Amino acid sequence: MKTIAAFLLPAALALFAQPQRPVETFDTTAGKVTITPIHHASMMIEAAGKVIHVDPWSEGNYTGLPKADLILITDIHQDHLDPKEIALLKKGDTTIIAPAAVAKTVTEAKVIANGEKTAWDSWSIEAVPMYNLTRGPAPGKFYHDKGRGNGYVLTYGGKRFYIAGDTEGIPEMRALRNIDVAFVPMNLPFTMTPEEAAEAVKAFHPKIVYPYHYRGSNIQAFAAALAGTGIEVRLQNWYY
């Protein structure tokens, strides 16, 4: 007969093996929002018992994480659109919101285009542009074409969260206002340098900004470039 310890030990070891995930908590008028970085551009957002997964990618460690009530997808590249991980995180009633280019693969997705808004549960969701101004694989071509992908501004309990997606410091980003928390990419050759990202962030001046999607970039340089601006820079590990 197995002892109680024999039953509990595997569960304890599994719990110990899970990564010590950084979790950020924000107060809103509707209650707390928690955001957990997972990997690269992937994150999990929780509020009022509901779970949102953004750009789930199987390179991340999803051990022990809850399945999605909502999945948001920004673009067609594999680090944002991963059908395998989407299938693992879906439940029978999961909503998926994505741009039209993504819906060619994830056919059940609710399509939302740049400039459009929708509502889900207690969240307002606005799709905003994300694209390259200058960078691409060849002259006249861009890694991210204007209108193909979505960044998102999510509003909950009066607090506005901006998830930029793969983008350079485009005019639409610089024109944003009243952003409480922003997640901004910086990695070459696909988006922008830390210094370029900082210049764009200065223009729309969020209260708090996180560098994400930053593989190989110097995020300390991003923080240094925003010193003295009044913008709080929070550095988290997206590659554990």
Q: CA 169, CA 72: separation in Å to the nearest integer? A: 22
Domain annotation covers residue 4: no
- Its pTM stands at 0.91
Q: CA 36, CA 203: separation in Å to the nearest integer? A: 26
Q: CA 28, CA 238: separation in Å to the nearest integer? A: 24
Q: What are the two backbone dihedrals, phi and then psi, of residue 7, each rounded to the nearest 5 degrees?
A: -75, -35
Domain annotation covers residue 68: yes
Domain annotation covers residue 88: yes
Number of domains in the chain: 1
Q: CA 101, CA 153: separation in Å to the nearest integer? A: 19
Domain annotation covers residue 238: no
Q: What is the pLDDT of residue 153?
A: 98
User: Domain range spanning residue 194?
Assistant: 21-233
Domain annotation covers residue 3: no
Along the 240 residues of the chain, how does pLDDT read in single tens digits? 455 555 455 544 444 445 678 899 999 999 999 999 999 999 999 999 999 999 999 999 999 999 999 999 999 999 999 999 999 999 999 999 999 999 999 999 999 999 999 999 999 999 999 999 999 999 989 999 999 999 999 999 999 999 999 999 999 999 999 999 999 999 999 999 999 999 999 999 999 999 999 999 999 999 999 999 999 999 999 997
DSSP state at residue 55: S
Domain annotation covers residue 5: no
Domain annotation covers residue 223: yes
Q: Domain containing 197 — which CATH number?
A: 3.60.15.10
Domain annotation covers residue 119: yes
Cα dist. 27→44, 131, 156, 158 in Å?
16, 31, 10, 10
